[in-house]
Amino acid sequence: MDVIRASQLTVDDAWLVAWSRFAAGLRVADIPAAVVARARLVLLDTLGAIAAGAREPEMVALTARMAALHGTGGLATAVIGGRIRLPLPVAAFLNGTAGTMLELDEGNQYCRGHPAIHVVPAALAAADAGGASGAALIRALVLGYEIAARIGIASRLRVTMHPHGTWGTVGAAVAAASLAGADAATMRETINVASTLGLATSRRTMLQGGTVRNAYAGVSNQLGLTAVELVGAGFVGEPDGVATVFGTVAADDFRPEEMTRELGSRWEIARNYFKRHAACRYTHGALDALGAILAETGPVAPDEVAALEVDTYVWAAQLDDPAPRNMLAAKFSLPFALATMIVSGETGVASFRDPARQDAATRALAARVTVREDPAFTAALPALRPARVTLALRDGRRVQRTVTTNRGDAEAPYPPEEIVAKFDALAAPVWGAQRTAAIRAAVETIDTAGDVRALTALLAG
């Protein structure tokens, strides 16, 4: 067996030195006002996704089990939407898990993942524990998002891996370290320690309805907080753990120059996307194209449809299961997503629940959907996410639409008021209209708040 000796390893971690100094020295005043505004919107959107996800039966049961196991004493923070406070790592785990349950959390097309749900729960927990200012929370969120997204940009995970639970751990750790006032040396060590705490995730979970996938982001938040405590206790990592893990373990093409390219002038949180369809983002282009078709034809009865044809890029073309076994699998099924849109007229949370999934007309229509990869569409990634949908009706008509970007992407953004409306729709059933409005107001002015605990008190209600 080959043995790698320490003397054989060479480390060029200039990017890490620069990044650590940048993170330790960043002030909120250094962040452009438009980026701060985007961060507030990302925070609001993520809180809505967490609160709604916390009402899912599995989350209610998991919260009760974790409360019984860990108790409610000690240094605790809000389980969002759970009406309970639990120890910081436990609450961060539950909040990160809840935020992925409904496939409504934001993401970033350039890193091919969802940075905010890996960062917000850990950042809120750390800010709450320390009584941090709202400005410190925003800085931590921006930094955690930035490094998580840049690792995703600088490397391509193995195609068998799911991105949740991988580089997000580093993002959570950086956010928590920022709130702890880490200097450059401590920030560097935190990044190195956190880099090797990620999960070996399976992409098949999302395709086959393995709901353990929803816990990946929760674990990242928990381990991000743990990384800060490890460094505080004197633990150290290898000199450049990010390059090792994302250059030889989880991926093999780490490009360190991407970690510092335009650092401080190009902000990844400002290039994010928001979601309105309650399904995997890979379905969104086709759903938008079908929406354009239905805007022309008007409502179409399921039995009027002879066939639906979808041509799209490689990752979306994998979502071809016409008979998903549960809600998660339905959210990762193009045939079902298109069918339920025709049958229900929408793509909200209810359109993917079991009653919709078991609907006979929807299942029959899903079986008439064909999904194919178009190599030209794949070549357009990551800047574009093309999809072409052809609706063939039994009367002989064929209607086709092609989209190149998803609604909600940086190139075709939703207006802020639509994201606010999404938050209200998700949060009001959890907290009621009055508390929802108070939470929204607190987030909209969070960067001027002297103490985040005014917000976290509302979240715990």
pLDDT at 74 over 90: no
Confidence of residue 410 (pLDDT cuts 50, 70, 90): confident
Pairing of strands 398-403, 84-87: unpaired
The predicted-structure confidence for 365-403, as pLDDT tens digits, reads as follows: 999 999 999 999 999 988 889 999 999 999 999 999 999
CB 316 within 8 A of CB 277: no
Residue type, 373: E
Per-position DSSP letters for 6-52, written without gaps between them: GGG-----HHHHHHHHHHHH--GGGS-HHHHHHHHHHHHHHHHHHHH
If we measure between CA atoms, which residue out of 182, 184, 185, 153 comes closest to residue 167? 153
The predicted-structure confidence for 286-301, as pLDDT tens digits, reads as follows: 999 999 999 999 999 9
Query: What phi and psi values does residue 301 have, to the nearest 5 degrees?
Result: -70, 145
Confidence (pLDDT) at 382: 82
Return all residues near 453 (Cβ < 8 A) that are at least 6 apart: 128, 131
Half-sphere exposure of 284 (CA within 13 A, CB side): 25
Confidence (pLDDT) at 142: 98
10 Å Cβ neighbour count for 185?
A: 13
